[in-house]
Amino acid sequence: IPVTVIEAGPCTVVQKKTLEKDNYLAVQLGFGEIRERLVNKPEKGHFAKAKVKPTRYLREIRISPDDEFAQLNVGDSVDVSIFSEGDKVDVTATSKGKGFQGSIKRHNQSRGRMSHGSKYHRRVGSLGSIAPARVFKGRPLPGRMGGERVTIQNLEVVKVDTDRNLLLVKGSVPGVKGSLVIIRNSVKA
C-alpha cells in the first residue's frame, strides 16, 4: 500500500480558549521545540504564561464540549496515540508551488489541435462576449499555481508508531517534504 509517513507530535497545549472568556472552545497546540532566543518577546511571554518550552509552530483547533481535547489542560502533551489503525482523517497543508502556469496545466483546459493549419495550440480560449467590454472576475487564466491551503479528506490511517510518533496514512498528502500538516478526525467519515 502506498503510504505517507507523518511525524505527528508530541504537541504541547499552550493555551485553552473557553466559552466564558473567548466565546468559543479551542485548544492551542505547539509543535517543534526551538531555542528560546529564536522567539520574539510577545511569544516568549505567551509561552512563559503557559510554563511550556517555546515551539516553532502554534495552531489552534476548535473543539466541542464533549470532545476528548476538552479535558486537556495547559502544559499537557498530545501525541500520536490519539489515532488508531483504520481511523479516517483529514489532512490540511500548503500545496507545492508550481510557479506561473498556463491555463491548460492550471485549470485543466483542453489544447487546440496541433495540425491541419491550426495556429492555436496552448492559448486561452474566448475571454467572454463583446458586450461588457471587459473580462469578468474568476475567469480561468494563466497565473501562479499552487502554494495554497489544501485539505485531503477521508485518508485511512494504516499504522500508528507511538515509539517514534509516526503516523502512516494511505495515499498522498499536500505539501513538500518537511512541511507542516494539520491532521484532524474526518468530518465526513
- Looking up residue 51, the CATH number of its domain turns out to be 3.30.160.810
**CA–CA gap between residue 187 and residue 168 (Å, rounded):** 19
Tell me the whole-structure pTM to 2 decimals. Answer: 0.84
pLDDT tens per residue across span 93-152: 999 999 999 999 999 999 999 999 999 999 998 899 999 999 999 999 999 999 999 999
pLDDT at residue 158, rounded to an integer? 94
Q: Which domain holds residue 116?
A: 98-145
Does some domain include residue 150? no
State the chain's mean pLDDT as an integer.
92
Number of folded domains that form the chain = 2
Residue 103 sits in a domain of what CATH number? 4.10.960.10
Answer for the pair 105, 96: CB distance below 8 angstroms, yes or no. Answer: no
Q: Do 74 and 107 have their domain in common?
A: no
The DSSP annotation for 106-153 comes to HH-PPPPPSSTT---SSS------STT-SPPTT---SEEE--SEEEEE
pLDDT (mean) for 53-61: 92
Q: Do 117 and 168 have their domain in common?
A: no
Q: Do 123 and 80 have their domain in common?
A: no
pLDDT (mean) for 36-62: 91
Does some domain include residue 151? no
Burial (0-12, 13-18, 19+ Cβ within 10 Å), 80: buried
Sequence-ordered alpha helix ranges (H) in 11-64: 19-22, 41-50
Q: Do 38 and 91 have their domain in common?
A: yes
